[in-house]
Every structure is written in C-alpha cells, then in structure tokens.
Amino acid sequence: MIYRLERIPKPGETLEHAGLVFEVAAADKKRINKLLVRVLEVKPR
C-alpha cells in the first residue's frame, strides 16, 4: 500500500487492488500499525 501511494496513508484511507480492498485501521507517521483486508464482492452477470 505504501508503495502504491508513495507515502504513509492515514487511518481510514482505502486502496482497491486485485479484487481486494485494503483499509488502514491504524497508522502513525512511520508505519501502518493495523490493516484490514476485504474481498470485493463479485456481482453475477
């Protein structure tokens, strides 16, 4: 996530990648302390 954003994200920020949603639950100025990962729902065609 840090690589894609090129910075330390703030708590509450999200990023979608490869069918997953990454949400920062806790972070400080130097690192992400807690990251939540959810699978995106696949909508039937």
Q: Give the model confidence (pLDDT) of 1-11 as tens digits.
A: 888 989 999 99
- Polymer length in residues for the chain: 45
Average pLDDT score, the chain: 92
**Residue 26 CA: distances (Å) to CA of 3, 5, 40, 42:** 17, 16, 21, 27
pLDDT of residue 41: 84
- What pTM does this model have? 0.80
Task: For the chain, list residues with pLDDT below 50.
Answer: none
Distance CA 17, CA 39 (A): 10
pLDDT confidence of residue 42: 78
Q: Given this model, what pLDDT does residue 14 score?
A: 96
H helix or E strand, kind and range, residue 25: strand 20-27
